[in-house]
Amino acid sequence: MNKWEMCKVTGIILAGGKSTRMGTNKAFLAYGNKSFIEIQIDILRHIFREIIISANDFSLYEHLQLPIVPDVMPGKGPLGGICAGLIHSKYSYAFVIACDMPFINKEVIVYMKELVKGDNYDVIVPHTVRGPEPLHAFYSKNCIQTMQRCLEEEDLRMSDFLQKVNVRHVNEEELIKSGKDIKSFINLNTYREYEDYRSECN
Ligand SMILES: Nc1nc2c(ncn2[C@@H]2O[C@H](COP(=O)(O)OP(=O)(O)OP(=O)(O)O)[C@@H](O)[C@H]2O)c(=O)[nH]1
């Protein structure tokens, strides 16, 4: 295992949403004999030394035996969860992933992690045809102040936040060229999307 294989970055799983469109907690949707969040933990464990769950209902996640961090300002959406996760992270960078991304792929994360080494960026975010994927991205603790300001000003859009910090964009083409599976960025919001996903995988 090389020294970056278990580098000093925290993995943050965002699981503090309402899952209104899905109608059931997305973190616990099943694929095979595991839930989405268990699939993610199994992968992140092999990359990061610390994993924390960003959520507000502790009782749902206690059995996973990982630290759970509540939002500093609840009800502000993913930006609030990321900010709280970063504040509690042991390390100066964190990889953030939404709990509704079951196609999580170790190679994609490790590729992006290599870009953290330069230490010049506040955020490292992939870009697909849908635009930036800020819920599958690396964040520096340098972001905390700007995030807090956005939260206080109710400026909660991730795209607005990204314009206020120093961002390294990782284009889809760059990932495809290096043979990475960009399915990693797909998230599932509705039961229909979940059903399609399951039938595709069978
Ligand atoms: N910690 C935290 N995470 C959140 C919050 N809102 C959303 N998330 C997480 O961010 C990711 C994307 O969430 P969304 O799909 O935008 O929102 P959602 O509330 O999960 O789902 P909908 O109610 O259908 O919009 C998911 O992993 C959510 O668990 C929040 O207020 N706090």
Tens of pLDDT, residues 36-70:
999 999 999 999 999 999 999 999 999 999 999 99
Q: Establish if 3 belongs to a structural domain.
A: no
Residue 67 belongs to a domain: yes
- CATH number for the domain that contains residue 24: 3.90.550.10
Q: Are strands 136-140 and 93-98 parallel, antiparallel or unpaired?
A: antiparallel
DSSP 107-147: HHHHHHHHGGGG---SEEEEEETTEE-TTEEEEEGGGHHHH
Q: Please state the atom number of ligand 1 nearest to the C-alpha of residue 82.
A: 1
In a domain, residue 18? The reply is yes
6 pLDDT more than 60? no
How far apart are the C-alpha atoms of 94 and 43, rounded to whole Å? 15
Q: What is the mean pLDDT of residues 29-34?
A: 90
Q: Is residue 185 part of a domain?
A: yes
Average pLDDT across the chain, whole number: 92
Q: 119-171 pLDDT, tens per residue?
A: 679 999 999 988 999 999 999 999 999 999 999 999 999 999 999 999 999 99
| Among protein residues, the one whose CA lies closest to atom 3 of ligand 1 | 16
Judge whether 1 lies within some domain: no
39 alpha carbon to ligand 1 midpoint, in Å?
18
Question: In terms of residue numbers, what domain contains 144?
Answer: 10-201
pTM: 0.95
- Does the ipTM exceed 0.90? yes
* CA-closest candidate to residue 192, choices 81, 29, 14, 43: 29
186 in a structural domain: yes
- Number of domains observed in the structure of the chain: 1
Q: Say if 167 falls within a structural domain.
A: yes
Report how far residue 54's alpha carbon sits from residue 70's, in angstroms, rounded to the nearest whole number.
6
CA distance 184 to 174: 14
Q: CB within 6 Å of ligand 1 — which residues?
A: 14-21, 26, 54-55, 71, 75-78, 80-81, 98-100, 135, 189
Q: Is residue 41 part of a domain?
A: yes
Q: Which residues pair with 125 in a beta bridge?
A: 169
How many whole angstroms separate alpha carbon 43 and alpha carbon 202? Answer: 21
